[in-house]
A and B are shown apart, each in its own frame.
Chain A
């Protein structure tokens, strides 16, 4: 009998737990430890943030589902890792602290045979002074509660605009090394469309602020893509969209401080500048959760497990951008020291960024951290689950399933406005996610046939279809596993 503990019930944790439960017989235990009582389909937060979708449509409670499916659920947060056990407990364990219910605040040793760390990122708002969701006129759409606040804030501005007041809107990244530009990109386009539908677009000045060197970098070093019958750079595509929608942009900006209505930033020229706003949605930096790890003698071994995020089978040797290769990226997401620990999704430490690192004239690093979107998060979680399932069934380690982001495609459907007949979406696919500049040396590291962009109403329908399909899948309704990650 094996016990598999999954930390986190986001996209990757939930995918892993669902597949483990489906494929392993009931004699094996699957335990999920996660602080949030709900599952949330994060990509649809964009629509919560413009008041077009109530948050109840993007979430559902986990406990009843897990009970029905035979998954043990602890509404708790992992605090520390003990991969060798301790003097009293000879099995490896994590300490989990309950966050709700009668035992709130109590800690428990949760032992395991296999551990999947799928805790995603910590939304590190503290890294930018004054960047607090719902305060100083800044908002976030990273969780459904943040998105609800964002809509409230935006709606207030819409009312002011209706009364004839001009408003400045600032959307983008709130830290010099933030990631998730895609989410901010979706939000700015959705906000722009909402203002048009409320007939107040001419009252708003909308600006994109980002740590990207060029538009359309998205933390992926940009893309060369097929667009209809032509080949286009992602920078050209985003520039076309922003110009068409009268959105201004500030690039190479490392936002470092927020005051009420003022975003202070440094640019790559080393200039210290300030942008005024009435409403801002700025994505914070993402960091690891600051977990600690201890060996059997209770000595600190955090550096064996974590490098901010969790250490996996990546090549972390520091080297210059020119020497980076796809081979640096992990394939099995297994910790090299403790081989029964895995970290799919955002929880693993990337070997380096994807975008070219850049410094300002003052030496401040200003460039996007590597994103890991929903699709690779789901795929890596499934392959980790499959390797554990094989290992449990064979009784010995099996790492047959591999999935490097350097040999994996991703589809990203960015909403550009909500509405069954007037909505829009920008559908982008990329193969591979990590550009392979050796294999695809002529096409900016990507396969042109599999890297394409498309703009239009179909993109909105696709995004909506994916919303319903992935919530169906997450609810583990009949034949859910037929829907790919």
Chain B
């Protein structure tokens, strides 16, 4: 069953669109990584 439409597939596989996507994804991922981490417990 073709669940992904031709236009969606075009967007997913078009190298120019995907190059932009590559930079956007890299930045989004870096933001999450740079967002850091920490504990979850309250210290009295």
**Contact residues in B for A347 (Cβ distance below 8 Å):** none
* Contact yes or no, B38 A457, CB < 8 A: no
How many A-B residue pairs have C-beta atoms within 8 angstroms? Tell me. Answer: 92
A137 at the A/B interface (Cβ < 8 Å)? no
User: Is chain A's binding surface mostly helix, strand, loop or mixed?
Assistant: mixed
The residues in B between 1 and 44 inclusive whose CB is less than 8 angstroms from any CB of A are 1-4, 11-15, 18-19, 21-22, 25-26, 28-35, 37-41
Shortest Cβ gap from B44 to chain A (Å): 14
Given known A456-B11, A456-B21, contact A429–B40 (CB-CB < 8 A): no
* Contact yes or no, B32 A411, CB < 8 A: yes
* Contact yes or no, B40 A243, CB < 8 A: no
Shortest Cβ gap from B33 to chain A (Å): 5
* Contact yes or no, A327 B41, CB < 8 A: yes
A459 to B29, CA, bound (A): 12
* Contact yes or no, B40 A244, CB < 8 A: no
Closest 9 A-B residue pairs measured CB to CB? A456-B12, A408-B37, A402-B39, A458-B21, A458-B22, A409-B32, A457-B18, A403-B37, A458-B18
B-side residues, CB < 8 A to A, are 1-4, 11-15, 18-19, 21-22, 25-26, 28-35, 37-41
**Residue of A whose beta carbon sits closest to that of B20:** A458
* Contact yes or no, B40 A456, CB < 8 A: no
* Contact yes or no, A462 B26, CB < 8 A: yes
Contact of B41 among A331, A383, A436, A457 (CB under 8 A): A331
Given known A454-B21, A454-B25, A458-B25, contact A411–B33 (CB-CB < 8 A): yes
**Contact residues in A for B22 (Cβ distance below 8 Å):** 458, 461-462
The residues in A between 317 and 364 inclusive whose CB is less than 8 angstroms from any CB of B are 326-327, 329, 331
The residues in A between 421 and 470 inclusive whose CB is less than 8 angstroms from any CB of B are 421-422, 424, 427, 429, 431, 436, 450, 452, 454-459, 461-462, 465
**Contact residues in A for B35 (Cβ distance below 8 Å):** 409, 431, 450
Shortest Cβ gap from B27 to chain A (Å): 11
* Contact yes or no, B13 A244, CB < 8 A: no
A70 at the A/B interface (Cβ < 8 Å)? no
**Contact residues in B for A65 (Cβ distance below 8 Å):** none
Shortest Cβ gap from B17 to chain A (Å): 8
**Contact residues in B for A411 (Cβ distance below 8 Å):** 29, 32-33
Given known A326-B40, A458-B25, contact A409–B3 (CB-CB < 8 A): no
**Contact residues in B for A461 (Cβ distance below 8 Å):** 18, 22
Contact of B39 among A244, A404, A429, A450 (CB under 8 A): A404
A411 to B29, CA, bound (A): 7
* Contact yes or no, A455 B38, CB < 8 A: no
**Contact residues in B for A244 (Cβ distance below 8 Å):** 1-4
* Contact yes or no, A457 B39, CB < 8 A: no
Given known A244-B4, A421-B15, contact A459–B25 (CB-CB < 8 A): yes
**Contact residues in B for A160 (Cβ distance below 8 Å):** none
A454 to B21, CA, bound (A): 9
A461 to B13, CA, bound (A): 12
Report 15 cross-chain contacts, Cβ distance below 8 Å, ordered by A residue. A240-B3, A243-B3, A327-B40, A383-B37, A402-B39, A404-B41, A409-B35, A409-B37, A421-B15, A454-B25, A456-B13, A457-B18, A458-B19, A458-B22, A462-B26
Q: A329-B40, A457-B15 are in contact. List 5 more A-B contacts (CB 8 A).
A: A403-B38, A407-B39, A409-B35, A431-B35, A458-B25
A118 at the A/B interface (Cβ < 8 Å)? no
A484 at the A/B interface (Cβ < 8 Å)? yes
**Contact residues in A for B30 (Cβ distance below 8 Å):** 484
A288 at the A/B interface (Cβ < 8 Å)? no
Shortest Cβ gap from B8 to chain A (Å): 9
* Contact yes or no, B12 A455, CB < 8 A: yes
